[in-house]
Amino acid sequence: TFDREELQVVCEGRKVGFQIDPTVGIDVEQVMGKTFTVEIGKVGVDSLSNIFDANGNAIENNVKFSKTLANINLDEALSSFTFTLEDIDCSDDIIGALADEVKEKIMLLLELDASDNNRIVLTPLRCKNGNTVTTTVTLLPPSTDSGGGRSLRAASLSASTDGIKAPHSISLFNKLRDISQEEQRKRSLLSTPEGREMFADEENSGNDRIGFPFRVKDLKIIPSASDTKAMLTTGSDLLDLEEDLFRIASSSKIGDQSKEMILKKVDRRAIVDEIELHEDAMVAEIREEGRQREKLMLSQMKTEIEELMLNQMKTLHIELLVVTLACIGISFFFRRCLRLGKIVRNGTKVL
Write out pLDDT tens, residues 15-56: 778 777 777 767 788 888 888 888 888 888 788 788 888 788
Neighbours of 97 (CB within 10 A): 13
Q: Which residues of 54-67 are buried (b: 16+ CB within 10 A; e: fewer)?
A: eeeeeeeeeeeeee
Q: Which residues of 259-289 are buried (b: 16+ CB within 10 A; e: fewer)?
A: eeebeeeeebeeebeebeeebeeebeebbee
Per DSSP bridges, beta strands 132-139 and 126-128 are antiparallel
Tell me whether residue 162 is exposed, middle or buried, using C-beta atoms within 10 angstroms of its C-beta: 0 to 12, 13 to 18, 19 or more: exposed
The confidence score (pLDDT) of residue 160 equals 46
SS3 of residue 289 by DSSP: helix
Report how far residue 228's alpha carbon sits from residue 273's, in angstroms, rounded to the nearest whole number: 10
The confidence score (pLDDT) of residue 82 equals 93
The confidence score (pLDDT) of residue 3 equals 65
The H or E element spanning position 312 is: helix 265-340
The confidence score (pLDDT) of residue 134 equals 93
The confidence score (pLDDT) of residue 228 equals 83
pTM over cut 0.85? no
Contact status, residue 106 vs residue 119, Cβ threshold 8 Å: no
The confidence score (pLDDT) of residue 288 equals 83
End-to-end CA distance of the chain: 114
In DSSP terms, which residues pair with 220 in a beta bridge?
80
Task: Mark the ranges of the chain whose per-residue pLDDT is less than 50.
Answer: 145-161, 205-207, 209, 253-263, 266, 349-351
Strand residues in the chain grouped as ranges (E): 7-12, 15-20, 35-40, 63-68, 78-86, 120-122, 126-128, 132-139, 214-222, 253-254, 257-258, 344-345, 348-349
Report how far residue 23's alpha carbon sits from residue 217's, in angstroms, rounded to the nearest whole number: 6
Please give the share of the chain, as a percent, with pLDDT higher than 90. Answer: 8
Contact status, residue 74 vs residue 170, Cβ threshold 8 Å: yes
The confidence score (pLDDT) of residue 84 equals 92
Measure CA 220 to chain center: 10
In DSSP terms, which residues pair with 254 in a beta bridge?
257
The confidence score (pLDDT) of residue 132 equals 92
In DSSP terms, which residues pair with 19 in a beta bridge?
8
The confidence score (pLDDT) of residue 161 equals 46
DSSP assignment of 161-173: TTSPBPPPHHHHH
Contact status, residue 79 vs residue 172, Cβ threshold 8 Å: yes
Question: What is the torsional sign of CA 108, 113, 119, 121?
Answer: positive
The confidence score (pLDDT) of residue 193 equals 64
Q: State the chain's maximal CA–CA distance in angstroms.
A: 131
280: closest CA among 116, 137, 78? 78
| DSSP conformation class of 238 | G
Who's near 127: CB < 8 A, 6+ residues apart? 90, 91, 92, 95, 133
